Structures are given as structure tokens and as C-alpha cells.
A = this chain, B = another copy of it.
Amino acid sequence: MIKFFEYNWQVRDEWIAWCSQLTNEELLNERQGGAGSILYTLFHIIDVEYSWILGIQGKEDIIFQFTDYNTLEDVNSLSKKLRNEIAEFLKTNLDGLKKKAVSVPWDEEQHTVDDILHHIIAHEIHHIGQLSIWARELKLQPVPANFIGRERISVNSF
């Protein structure tokens, strides 16, 4: 499971670097489908991941407003800051936790920690797939999405 987080974070950083070739206006441009704009998609991925990780830990959700993070630098800072906290949590032994049922304020159903971790992982990969289409529509080459054939970065490096 941890390998998917490492993969997602590496790919996310590559997309954030990729974004630096665009103006902030292009990053905020409303696009068809997905979460709306390229920058909002990245913000949304970060926000959703953190909310679920807080939920797993039984901590109160922290709501971030996109208007406070609507530049690439702000999104990058938020990503790095929250990721440090998430990496620390993921380094702890999750095996005993996986079957634990979790309730969160934004969902009526309870979910196991294991399912929530799957959900966070699939959520990011899905949205990154969307960015890759928008990249081609902008006549730009997307960040490669391959899981294999990339240098691996350990959760300990984040």
C-alpha cells in the first residue's frame, strides 16, 4: 500500500514541476470534466487525501479553501506540508488498523481503514489520468504515469 503513496507523491511532484511551464491563468482555466482546472485538481487531491488521513486518525477535519491556495507555489507548499504529516502516520504500523471501521462527517457510511487507503490511492491516480488528457489538449506532453521503470522514492524521503 505504501508503495502506491510513494508513487502518487512522486508523480504529483512531477506534475507540479510540469505546471511551472504554464501561467497561473492557464492553471486556473476551467476545463471540461474532472475537478475543473489543473490547479484545482491538484489542490483537491491533496485536500481529499489529508481529510481521509485525519479521519482515520479520529481527528477533526480541517477545511482548506482553494481561494487561499490558488497559485502553484501555494499548492506545492500545502502538498509538502501535509505530506510530511501523512508520511509520519504511514510509517507507523498500519496492519493492526486496517480492519478498523472509521466514520467521517462527510459520509454516512462507515469504511475500514484498508478501504479508505485504497480509496485515497485510486482517487489520486484517477485525477492524474484526467490531467494527462488536458495536457495533450494544451499540446504538451504529460508526465509519464508508469509505475515501473521509474526511480523509486521511499516514504522516508518525504
Give the B-binding residues of A (Cβ under 8 A).
3-4, 7, 32-34, 107, 109, 111, 114-116, 118-119, 121-123, 125-130, 132-137, 142, 145-149
- From A4, A129, A130, A146, residue with most partner B Cβ within 10 Å: A129
Q: List 11 A-B contacts (CB under 8 A).
A: A4-B118, A4-B122, A33-B134, A34-B133, A107-B149, A118-B148, A119-B148, A122-B145, A125-B129, A126-B145, A128-B129
**What CA separation (Å) do A137 and B32 show in the bound complex?**
6
* A34 near B119: Cβ-Cβ < 8 Å: no
* B147 near A115: Cβ-Cβ < 8 Å: yes
Question: Which residues of chain B are near A107, meaning CB under 8 Å?
Answer: 148-149
* B7 near A132: Cβ-Cβ < 8 Å: no
* In the A-B complex, the 5 residue pairs with the closest CB atoms: A129-B129, A33-B136, A119-B147, A126-B129, A125-B125
